Amino acid sequence: MEPRILVLDGNQRASLAAVRSLGEKKLWVAAGDSSDRCMAGLSRFCQTSITYPDPFESPRAFFDDILRQIRELNISFLLPISEATTYVILQYRDELPTNLTLPFPQTEAVEQLANKNKLFKFASEQGIPTPDTIFCESVEDGLQAIMSIHVYPIVLKPAKSRILLSDQIVSTRVITAYSREQAASLLKENKFFAFPYSIQSFVEGEGQGVFALFNQGSPVCYFSHRRLREKPPSGGVSVLSESAPLNESLRASAEKLLSKANWHGVAMVEYRVSEDGVGYLMEVNPRFWGSLQLAIDSGIDFPWWLYLVSTGNAVPQVEYRYRRLRWILGDLDRLLIILKSPRSKYPNRNKLIEIMRFLKPNLTTRHEVNRIRDLKPFLFEVKQYLRALRG
């Protein structure tokens, strides 16, 4: 029977990259999202598009609808992209059809790495450097812990970025506190600190990541990139990036961690590298990342290779090449943030120079969404962007 693939979270750029990657291999690919239309669903490589209930508002209704559509479309390979859809699918994975391939290890293995409290305990056992960490289960635990902390800033880090409850998904965020008073206030103000979290020392340094694909505990390939521009400019989502050589120390650390966890599938392992070169583990995301298209353009076709290893097929030889990738609307957003902000907020950003950098052509840079052979997703993104600006 012809394989039939369903990619979720169709308005994510990683979803579009996955649909393009798999569709170009002549595979039958569908895309889904909780909104009526989505970028990935408009790709010429997408055979059909579906809509499902918002998993944040009703996780069970979302899963029941996905299950129905899997059966109606005869889906044989399911690929959730975001943490929200991934966690719900994994929660109810025992109800999925037995002939469906879900490219993840056992749910316990995902929890061991995706739950930051469990991750840091596990990493410490493996001798992988982590920030100094205090584990907390409640607001009261944190308030008591900060009384013995004298060096600031500190990082308040929820165990999960998405907390799955029976009737909703709660979003959390990592917060830096610069004083004991601010830490206490943040703990009291944010309701998600009622769930497990950690308090960590702040590590000065540069953020670096290792992107990996594993097959039943064995590494298949790695990738690394360098962020050249981010939105917001102080640090965030990559809007201009380039492929970069792997940091061998970080690769070895990621391999040790993922091998010990008997990992299967893709993972993004994030580090903060201090001035003395030590890579401190920050988190592991068991899913595809925003700039996935850069890896594909660089010859590391993660979606295709994930499909191959998950269906018992061999992966072709790597043909690595240097590439740059630009998310043009994200880059425009970044420029507007700088232009609208007072000079004191970004003192090192000359507004005229930033405009010139934005407009300067670079023929070696590829665009993440706008591609000549597949323009509809970009036109849709532009319409959504203009609507948001007016709104």
pLDDT digits (tens, 9 = 90+) for 77-100: 999 999 999 999 999 999 999 999
Confidence label for 319 from pLDDT (cuts 50, 70 and 90): confident
Confidence label for 23 from pLDDT (cuts 50, 70 and 90): very high
Tell me what pLDDT residue 363 has: 82
Tell me what pLDDT residue 152 has: 95
Confidence label for 317 from pLDDT (cuts 50, 70 and 90): confident
Q: Which of 42, 46, 77, 84 is nearest to 63 (CA)?
A: 84
CATH 3.30.1320.10 assigned to domain 206-323? The reply is no
Q: Which residue has the higher pLDDT, 24 or 364?
A: 24
Tell me what pLDDT residue 255 has: 97
CATH 3.30.200.20 assigned to domain 132-201? The reply is no
Report how far apart, in Å, the C-alpha atoms of 43 and of each of 2, 114, 187, 272 are.
20, 31, 43, 36
Q: What is the CATH number of domain 4-102?
A: 3.40.50.20
Whether pLDDT at 63 is above 80: yes
Tell me what pLDDT residue 135 has: 98
Q: Which of 93, 82, 85 is nearest to 59 (CA)?
A: 85
Confidence label for 349 from pLDDT (cuts 50, 70 and 90): confident
Whether pLDDT at 195 is above 80: yes
Confidence label for 373 from pLDDT (cuts 50, 70 and 90): very high
Tell me what pLDDT residue 184 has: 97
Tell me what pLDDT residue 155 has: 96
Q: Mean of the pLDDT values across residues 327-332?
A: 96
Helix (H) or strand (E) holding 4: strand 4-7
Separation of CA 344 from chain center: 31
In angstroms, the CA 200 to CA 184 distance is 14
Calculate ∠ Cα 313-319-324, nearest 5°. 120
Tell me what pLDDT residue 368 has: 96
Tell me what pLDDT residue 361 has: 84
User: Any idea where the domains of the chain sit in the sequence?
Assistant: 4-102, 132-201, 206-323, 328-390
Tell me what pLDDT residue 144 has: 97
In angstroms, the CA 85 to CA 83 distance is 6
Mean pLDDT of the chain: 94
Whether pLDDT at 1 is above 80: no
Condensed to tens digits (0 to 9), the pLDDT of residues 127-172 reads 999 999 999 999 999 999 999 999 999 999 999 999 999 899 999 9
In angstroms, the CA 219 to CA 347 distance is 43
Condensed to tens digits (0 to 9), the pLDDT of residues 212-262 reads 999 999 999 999 999 899 999 877 889 999 999 999 999 999 999 999 999
In angstroms, the CA 195 to CA 192 distance is 6
